[in-house]
């Protein structure tokens, strides 16, 4: 997870949020509620989120846009009555991959402070304060380790080290380890390594960790 600066509110939210929220909160039948709720899937909102998160999952940093449309994730779940009024709140929306957002992971969970929450939010928190991005070059593993209770809880709930994700991520990070040996002597290697540290690169948190360990 890397810090993501939230971009400006899409115009459609600016214009429609109040009316949409009123319609949702006033809905009396299931059908009415469904119709009112679905407005958050507006194309302009999705486009703004894809652009803000560079087509990556806000939580696990996997690239989504080339294989999936991605999910509009409500940080505070819209399914919980106390958060329903945040269904169209820009500051409550993130882009997530289908796995981080599925019922077995984030789903409708929102752990409160008494349960070790809230989850680390890449737009509201500094992920580096809560996670260590550990690169083990002997075991060839790239692992997210929580260093605060919120970090630990977030890693566990979202499954940031789920086996398939960690295996894929580790392969990529190990290639970066090898590449990092050549940045001083090869301009192309330097360029590729710098690309891997950019906001739009998959698992940039790990690339940045490697960069921070390299001699200045």
Nearer to Zn ion, 58 or 179 (CB): 58
Which residue, 45 or 100, is less far from Zn ion as judged by CB?
100
Please pick, from the candidates 2, 36, 57, 160, the single residue that binds Zn ion as defined by CB under 5 A. 57
Q: According to the binding rule CB under 5 A, does residue 94 interact with Zn ion?
A: no
Q: By C-beta, is 20 or 53 nearer to Zn ion?
A: 53
Minimum CB separation from Zn ion for residue 57, in Å? 3
What is the C-alpha R_g of the chain?
19
- For residue 102, the minimal CB distance to Zn ion (Å) is 10
How near is the Cβ of 94 to Zn ion at its closest, in Å?
10
Count, residues near Zn ion per rule CB under 5 A: 5
DSSP strand pairing (93-96 vs 71-74) = antiparallel
Residues forming the site for Zn ion (CB under 5 A): 57, 59-60, 97, 100
């Amino acid at each position: 997870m890397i810090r993501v600066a939230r971009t400006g509110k899409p115009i459609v939210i600016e214009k429609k949020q109040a009316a949409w929220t009123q319609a949702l909160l006033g809905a009396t039948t299931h059908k009415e509620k469904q119709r009112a709720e679905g407005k958050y899937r507006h194309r302009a909102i999705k486009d703004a989120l894809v652009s803000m998160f560079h087509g990556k999952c806000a939580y696990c940093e996997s690239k989504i846009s080339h294989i999936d449309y991605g999910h509009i994730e409500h940080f505070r779940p819209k399914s919980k009555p106390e958060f329903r009024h945040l269904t169209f709140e820009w500051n409550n929306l993130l882009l997530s991959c289908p796995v981080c957002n599925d019922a077995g992971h984030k789903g409708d969970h929102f752990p409160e402070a008494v349960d070790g929450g809230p989850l680390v939010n890449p737009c509201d928190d500094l992920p580096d304060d809560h996670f260590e991005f550990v690169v083990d070059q002997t075991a060839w593993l790239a692992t997210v380790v929580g260093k605060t209770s919120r970090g630990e809880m977030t890693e566990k709930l979202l499954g940031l080290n789920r086996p398939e994700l960690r295996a894929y991520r580790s392969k990529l990070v190990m290639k970066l380890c090898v590449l990092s040996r050549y940045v001083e002597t090869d301009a192309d290697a330097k360029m590729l390594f710098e690309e891997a540290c950019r906001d739009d690169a998959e698992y940039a948190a790990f690339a940045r960790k490697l960069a921070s360990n390299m001699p200045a």
